[in-house]
Amino acid sequence: MSATSPVRPVLPPDIRARKGSEPLVVLTAYSTPVARLVDAHCDIVLVGDSVGMVIHGLPSTLGVTMEMMILHGKAVVRGAQKAMPVIDMPFGSYEEGPQQAFRNAARLMSETGAPAVKLEGGQHMAETIAFLTARGVPVMAHVGLTPQSVNTLGGYKVVGRAEEAEKVMADARAVEAAGAFSVVLEKVPEGLAARITQELTIPTIGIGAGVRCDGQVLVVDDMLGLFTEFRPKFVKRYAELGKAADEAIAAYAAEVRSRAFPAAEHSFPDVLPVKK
């Protein structure tokens, strides 16, 4: 599968048709080797703008650029043979209006080969989502906590408690009506996420939104224990690769210093005798 392949094996209508059946399994990836690992087990591989924080060391997702998303998107599409790649639209690439959003979404799709994009926002993004879907751009929506709005939300808080619940419900209804093929619910109280999942006809993909969504997504570096700067409550660590890597690097450093590495089996014998 490559950017030039005509049709991928899983496309947005296939994901939409999974509503109410077996849970959708989604992980992020930012490189070809990790995309290959994710591809073997997941339905969707998300090139999240979380790449800015977990790979590039940025303090938030706000500094992520189109060029970063295209570079990582190309790498992931190369590694994903069956899982469907989705690319995040970075902050500032779609909020001005439908035309700007179409121009940048088309660039993400044509330059990477991914068949869909994701963007953040509910009712206020409905016009843009409708514009994109009518023009051949499948959109995964993202409501609840939308990290690109961290400064207006006042932090990475749970969104949708008490009277805020009806606003999140209205956001979810609006993105469905606009034509999104699925919607991420981030850091939404579990009862509200269950209500949204029950009412919507498109799949909901939860992250910190409880078990009653149609699928789940995590940032791969979080669940592998590679990104350890902070750990939201919704992250379950399935491995401690950061700790394993630290131990391996410490062992390498000690062996280089003690000249235990490289050993004979890592070296190349001379053909001619070495002159003393």
Residue 271 C-beta: closest distance to ligand KIV, Å: 52
Select the span of 46-54, 69-77, 132-140, 148-156 touching ligand KIV (CB under 6 A): 46-54
- The secondary structure of the chain as a DSSP string is --TT-S--SS-HHHHHTTTTSSPEEEEE--SHHHHHHHHTT-SEEEE-TTHHHHTT--SSGGG--HHHHHHHHHHHHHH-SSSEEEEEPPTTSSTT-HHHHHHHHHHHHHHH--S-EEEEBSGGGHHHHHHHHHTT--EEEEEES-GGGHHHHTSS-----TTHHHHHHHHHHHHHHHT-SEEEEES--HHHHHHHHHH-SS-EEEESS-TTSSEEEE-HHHHTT---S---TTPPPS--HHHHHHHHHHHHHHHHHTT-SS-GGGS---SSPPP-
Select the span of 6-14, 44-52, 74-82, 133-141 touching ligand KIV (CB under 6 A): 44-52
Of the pair 211, 249, the CB lying nearest ligand KIV is at 211
Q: Does 104 bind ligand KIV (CB under 6 A)?
A: no
Q: Does 214 bind ligand KIV (CB under 6 A)?
A: no
Select the span of 32-40, 42-50, 101-109, 156-164 touching ligand KIV (CB under 6 A): 42-50
Choose which of 42, 80, 192, 217 interacts with ligand KIV (CB under 6 A).
217
Residue 16 C-beta: closest distance to ligand KIV, Å: 18
Choose which of 50, 93, 112, 216 interacts with ligand KIV (CB under 6 A).
50
Binding mask 191-210 for ligand KIV (x = CB under 6 A): ----------------x---
Residues 18-37 within binding reach of ligand KIV (CB under 6 A): 28
Residue 217 C-beta: closest distance to ligand KIV, Å: 5
Non-local (6+) Cβ contacts of 118 within 8 A are 46, 48, 86, 87, 88, 89, 139, 140, 141, 142, 184
Residue 147 C-beta: closest distance to ligand KIV, Å: 7
Of the pair 88, 111, the CB lying nearest ligand KIV is at 88
Residue 177 C-beta: closest distance to ligand KIV, Å: 22
| Paired strand residues for 45 | 27, 85
Query: Does 163 participate in catalysis according to the annotation?
Result: no
User: How many of the chain's residues bind ligand KIV (CB under 6 A)?
Assistant: 10
Gap between the Cα atoms of 51 and 42, Å rounded = 19
**Catalytic, out of 111, 120, 176, 186:** 186
Q: Are 185 and 202 in contact (CB under 8 A)?
A: no
Q: Does 184 bind ligand KIV (CB under 6 A)?
A: yes
Q: Does 219 bind ligand KIV (CB under 6 A)?
A: yes
Catalytic residues: 186
Q: Which residues are near ligand KIV by CB under 6 A?
A: 28, 46, 48-50, 88, 184, 207, 217, 219
